[in-house]
Amino acid sequence: MKVGKVSESILKRSILKQVKTTREEVLLGASIGEDCAAAELEQGEVFVFSTDPITVVSDNIGRLSIDVTINDIASAGAEPVGVLLSCLLPAYIKEHDIQEMMGQVSHRCAELNVQIMGGHTEVTRAVNQPIITVTGIGKVKKERLVRTSGARPGDDIVVTKWIGLEGTSIIAREKKDELLKRFAPDFIEAAEQFDRFLSVVDEAGIAVKHGVHAMHDVTEGGIFGALWDIAEASEIGIEIDLKSIPVKQETIEICNHFDINPYKLISSGSMLIAAEDGYGLVRELEKNGINAAVVGKATEGNDRVLLNNDERRFLTPPETDEIYKVV
């Protein structure tokens, strides 16, 4: 494909034609010639914004790009409204690849009732693989805005679903041939399909109704990184029981195979929550078919402690995600 902005014909038939979900808040959305998007809020509502790039090669890059950014919006207790897309594409890309990618984006936005409000698509020699950066826009009543920094000493610390879901799915897809030499096809297929768990929108909605002090989706740096972030932002200590952190067997075995730490593996699909009644929240989540566990407590002071039977050690600041050691 020629370097530069994609042609108007490709833009119309392969990108804009797939933009179907609309919302009443959006006054100006994606179309030829428009440089901006515009949205209107009701009195007492505030905008919530987040942006994330997807730089790891994946055959579900479109869906993943939406989930990762919308999870951030949900973590603030907000309702997702729309997204802006910036797609940087390598020169070798074919139009059907763009159609596939945008089809994934459009389908996921329809499932979440999120409007594609605009964006930019460009073929450039500056990249050797597709890169999608998504800016998400959400809305929430000002008094219901949830902050990462809201955790309080005495709060229960809750983890939803299982850690390592995103990283496990990516590794299973990208290293499938190698893994099939050791594991059964059914095992690898199950790991690949962890990407169906990557949205945290449902648990965020349940948590907000139940009452929470802080939420933080578990992404790069894994659960250790997320625990550090919420403790640092809230200026609290934490005491976490490692054995209480939920993790799938597929994640454990694939991480063992590549000698990486599952607690430091990118984990979209898992939400970290600080709540006064964590056990009540876990019961409410499980009523709705969402696995969750109380893994520890927020404490006074600044000690960030990890407990593993009789072993007691301290959490350290986040490092480079383990995924980059493998893909």
36-64 pLDDT per residue, tens? 889 999 999 999 999 999 987 678 899 99
φ, ψ for residue 138, nearest 5 deg: -135, 175
H or E stretch including 106?
helix 95-112
Q: What is the pLDDT of residue 33?
A: 80
| Average pLDDT over every residue of 176-182 | 97
Report pLDDT for 60. 86
Please say if the pLDDT value at position 17 is more than 90. Answer: no
Fold held by 4-144:
60s Ribosomal Protein L30; Chain: A; (3.30.1330)
Helix (H, G, I), strand (E, B) or coil at 6: coil
Query: Domain-by-domain residue ranges, the chain?
Result: 4-144, 148-325
pTM of the model: 0.91
Strand 156-160 with 237-241, pairing: unpaired
Q: What percent of the chain has pLDDT over 90?
A: 88
Q: What proportion of the chain, given as a percentage, has pLDDT over 70? A: 99
E strand or H helix that includes residue 63: helix 61-75
Just give the CATH number of 148-325. Answer: 3.90.650.10
In whole angstroms, give the CA distance from residue 152 to residue 275: 8
Could you tell me whether strands 115-123 and 38-39 are parallel, antiparallel, or unpaired per DSSP bridges? unpaired
> How does the average pLDDT of the chain come out, rounded?
95
Q: What is the pLDDT of residues 209-266, one digit of tens each?
A: 999 999 999 999 999 999 999 999 999 999 999 999 999 999 999 999 999 999 999 9
- The pLDDT, as a whole number, for residue 57 is 65
Instruction: DSSP for 140-195, please give it.
Output: EEGGG---GGG--TT-EEEEES-BTHHHHHHHHHHTHHHHTTTS-HHHHHHHHGGG
Q: In terms of Cα–Cα distance, which of 305, 155, 302, 162 is closest to 240? A: 305
